[in-house]
Amino acid sequence: MKSITGQAFRAQSLAFVGALWLIPRLLSAAPDIALQMTVDTLVPAAGQPVQFTITASNIGADAANGVQVTDQLPAELRIPAGMAAFPSAGTYDAASGVWSIGALAAGANATLVIPAIVAVATQPPCSVNVARLNSPADADSSNNRAVAAVKANLADQCTDLVIVSSGGNVHGCDYSYELKYWVTVSNAGPDDAHAVYLDMAQSPEIVPHLKFVDNECDGLRCTFASLPAGASVTVDAKSATLDFNNTKYVTFSFAVSSSETDYATGNNQRVDNISIPNTPGCNYYDESDDSNINCFIATAAYGSVLEPHVVVLRQFRDQYLKRTALGRAFIRLYYRHSPPMAAVIAQHEWLRFLVRSLLTPLVLAIAFPLRALIFAGLMALLCSATARGRVLGRCLAGGDVECATTTVVPAPGGQSHEDA
């Protein structure tokens, strides 16, 4: 592996530092396309057409180019004969569901009206239409999806429960060497979900006393009274003390369900195949404790556990943080809260860039501490000299009495004295 102090590493780090001043521009000036969808009739009569209206609005500060939205009707709906979708801008291809808008100025919007009719003999409880933004350059991906549904009965609730992510680590002697795991569930809507159940299982059952530890949970099941559309929840699980004399392999299975109709059940399950290392001795100076655990946020930002910046941070953790009680407390706090944050960062390129830009100066200070100290000292001297120069300038220009009694000025003959 190339040396962490190599020329390529320094060049990459300096490039990130040099790009810091661009961040406000990138965050404030990027286009932000927000999608919304409505349907004019929630419960249509047999043979009654409905209209879905999709609105794409550029709420960002910059114009957007090449804007494209995909909205393909579900299999049980179709555009009625003799009717067609109507876009206010661009073109819509009913076969592919692609709405090509093109350019969209800041503050502008475009609409697409899609007529639809139930095309099956027995209408399902929920027929959900989903629109998604395809344009890559967008400041906020959280508003790039819109949904609306027609229902067989008004009482039907249409939801899409998703197991978004999960993960965990084996923690060392401060936790009696136990497994900690987390899982995040979201509801993609369009309606709120009620009586939501999250279940966990392991195979083979080798992890002792594995259970969820949140207030809404009992054993290997969590029960939530409701999960609003667009919301998510993260819960934690833990084991009792592990005592393995060799590496063990286990499969964790997760399933989420609710009392409402879930129109996309393919994302209701998740399976994690993990390995659990043998139990080490409890020596804080033994790097076998948790040195194989990744730096979640840094890995999400830089893209790889082998990326040089991530390696520097991991080495700093193992060589310094783990050797003090305060450092170990920080590591425990980081391991508990960073995985969900890392999952969000990994999904958004602008967040990855922002975190890289914030972490790079820290990595440089760790990798080159002497140079960082010299640089900080020079900056302090420069700031001090600049401040003194401004004060002296005011003295000479305005005859400030307080300034004149405290500012050191050159005396005749090259000596300095206090001008009283």
Spans of all domains in the chain: 1-30+286-367, 31-153, 157-282, 371-418
Instruction: Return the CATH number of 157-282, one of 2.160.20.10, 2.40.320.10, 2.60.40.1510, 1.10.10.10.
Output: 2.60.40.1510
pLDDT at 412 over 50: no
* Among the listed residues 139, 128, 30, the one whose alpha carbon sits nearest the alpha carbon of residue 75: 128
Other residues' Cβ atoms within 10 Å of the Cβ of residue 336: 14
Common-topology check for domains 31-153 and 157-282: yes
pLDDT at 411 over 50: no
Question: Of residues 130 and 140, which shows the higher confidence score?
Answer: 130
Other residues' Cβ atoms within 10 Å of the Cβ of residue 66: 13
270/93 Cα distance (integer angstroms): 34
Which pLDDT belongs to residue 311?
Answer: 77
Give the pLDDT band (50/70/90) at residue 408. very low
Mean pLDDT of the chain, nearest integer: 81
Give the Å distances, CA to CA, from 96 to 69, 91, 131, 140: 11, 12, 12, 25
Which pLDDT belongs to residue 107?
Answer: 93
Which pLDDT belongs to residue 29?
Answer: 55
Question: Of residues 323 and 169, which shows the higher confidence score?
Answer: 169
85/95 Cα distance (integer angstroms): 11
* Among the listed residues 212, 209, 151, the one whose alpha carbon sits nearest the alpha carbon of residue 185: 212
Give the pLDDT band (50/70/90) at residue 416. very low
Q: Where are the beta strands (DSSP E) in 59-177?
A: 64-70, 77-78, 86-87, 91-93, 98-104, 109-118, 126-133, 145-151, 158-159, 161-171
* Among the listed residues 308, 391, 400, 247, the one whose alpha carbon sits nearest the alpha carbon of residue 408: 391
pLDDT at 352 over 90: no
224/222 Cα distance (integer angstroms): 7
pLDDT at 27 over 60: no
* Among the listed residues 26, 22, 12, the one whose alpha carbon sits nearest the alpha carbon of residue 350: 26
Q: Determine if the peptide bond prior to 280 is cis (ω within 30°).
A: no
48/42 Cα distance (integer angstroms): 11
Of 58-72, 286-300, 379-393, the one with minimum mean pLDDT is: 286-300
pLDDT (average), residues 189-195: 94
pTM of the model: 0.57
Question: Under CATH, which architecture does the 31-153 domain have?
Answer: Sandwich (2.60)
* Among the listed residues 124, 128, 127, the one whose alpha carbon sits nearest the alpha carbon of residue 145: 128
How much of the chain exceeds pLDDT 70, in percent? 78
Of 12-21, 37-46, 71-80, the one with minimum mean pLDDT is: 12-21
Give the pLDDT band (50/70/90) at residue 325. confident
pLDDT at 43 over 90: yes
